[in-house]
Amino acid sequence: MVFSNEKDLRHHEAIRIKASIYTGIALRVKIISPGAMENLLYAIDLDSGVVKKKTAEEEGKETKPKGKKAIEEAKKKEEEEKKKQEEAAKQLANPGSVAKSGIVNLRFEECKFSRKAAALLSEWLKSKALIETMGLVKVSFEDVSDFKKITEGVKLNQKISKLSFQSMNLEEEVHGTAIGRVLSDSRTIRELDMTHIVFDYRTFYDMCQAILNERCRLNVLKLRGLIVGEIEGKIIQFILMKNKQIHTLDLSECRTEDPANFEFFFEKLNQFCNIRYLTLEKM
C-alpha cells in the first residue's frame, strides 16, 4: 500500500484501515513530518496487535455497556483483545517462532526525513520486532547523522532480514561506517540490496570490509548498477575469495570504463567460489 498524500497520514486509524489487507507500506511524500511518522508507526503497532486500540472511554467518552447481552459482548471482546496481546508479546519475545502477520515490509520512497521523524523511526526499530524488510529509495535527510540513527535502529532490530538502499548518493564517511556496523553486528540481516548507489571509494571499502568480517551473516548481495573501477573490482574479488556465507550475487547493470576491472573478480568465479546464484544482466 503506497501513501503519497500527506492527508492520508493524519490519523493512525485511517492508515491501519487502508493498509489492513496488505503486508507492506510504502511512504512517498516530500517531507516526512514527526506527526506522520508517529501515526504510521502506531498504525503498524495496531495492525500487529502489539498495542491495544484506544477505547472510547480512554478518549473521554462513556462506554458503559447496558443490559446483560451488552455486558457479555463487552467481556468477550475484552478476552479476545487480551489473547491478541499475549500472542503479540510472544512474537516480540521470540519473533522467529511465530508465523508472519500484519505489516512486515516498510519502504520510504523519494522523500526527505525531518530530524525528529528519523529519531522516532530509529527508536521504534530498536524496540519493536515487527517488520522483516526495510527499504530506502531516493531518500534524503536534513542531517547526515540521521542516516546513522536509522541504521542504528536496523542494527538492533531483532527481525529485519532484508535491507535495501536504492538510487541514493552514499558518499560520506558516516554512510560506510553506519552500513558496516549493521552488517557486522546485526544478528538477522541476510540480504543487502544496494541498487544504483553512488559510492565514494571509502564508503564502498568500509561496507565491504564489514562483509568480509566473520560476524557478517549476509547470504544475498545485490550491487546492481555499480560503477566498477579498479578499487571496486579488487574489493569484489576479495569478497568472492574470502566470504563463504554469500551464495547469491547480483551484479546486473554494472558498468566500467576498463573491462579489465571486471576481470579482477570474474577470474574468481570458479569451483572454489561459494556463489551458487549469479545474475549479470545488461552489463
Most confident region among 16-30, 175-189, 260-274 by mean pLDDT: 175-189
Give the integer Cα–Cα distance in Å for 6 and 40: 11
* Torsion (CA) 125, 126, 127, 130 in degrees, nearest 10: 40
Q: What pLDDT does residue 57 have?
A: 46
User: Residue 237 is which amino acid?
Assistant: Q
Q: Side by side, which strands form the sheet with 220-222?
A: 2-3, 24-27, 105-109, 133-137, 162-166, 191-195, 220-222, 248-250, 277-279
Cβ(229)–Cβ(202) below 8 Å: no
DSSP 35-78: HHHHHHHHHHHHHHTSSPPPPTTTTT------SHHHHHHHHHHH
Residue 271 binned pLDDT confidence (cut-offs 50, 70, 90): low
Q: Look-up: residue for cell 503519497? A: 4
Minimum mean pLDDT range among 20-29, 62-71, 192-201, 210-219: 62-71
- pLDDT tens figures, 141-164: 999 999 999 999 999 999 999 999
Tell me the average pLDDT across 203-226: 95
Cβ(114)–Cβ(34) below 8 Å: yes
Q: Give the Cβ contact number of residue 273 at 10 Å.
A: 16
Who has greater pLDDT, 51 or 238? 238
Cβ(201)–Cβ(173) below 8 Å: no
Q: Which of 83, 127, 131 lies closest to 104, judged by CA?
A: 131
pTM above 0.85, yes or no: no
Q: What pLDDT does residue 80 have?
A: 66
Give the integer Cα–Cα distance in Å for 10 and 22: 19
- pLDDT tens figures, 184-202: 999 999 999 999 999 998 9
Average pLDDT, the chain: 86
Go through the domains of the chain in sequence order and give each one's CATH number.
Answer: 161-283 (3.80.10.10)
Cβ(29)–Cβ(9) below 8 Å: yes
Give the integer Cα–Cα distance in Å for 252 and 16: 37
C-alpha atoms less than 13 angstroms from C-alpha of 93 in its C-beta half-sphere: 6
% residues pLDDT > 90 (the chain): 59
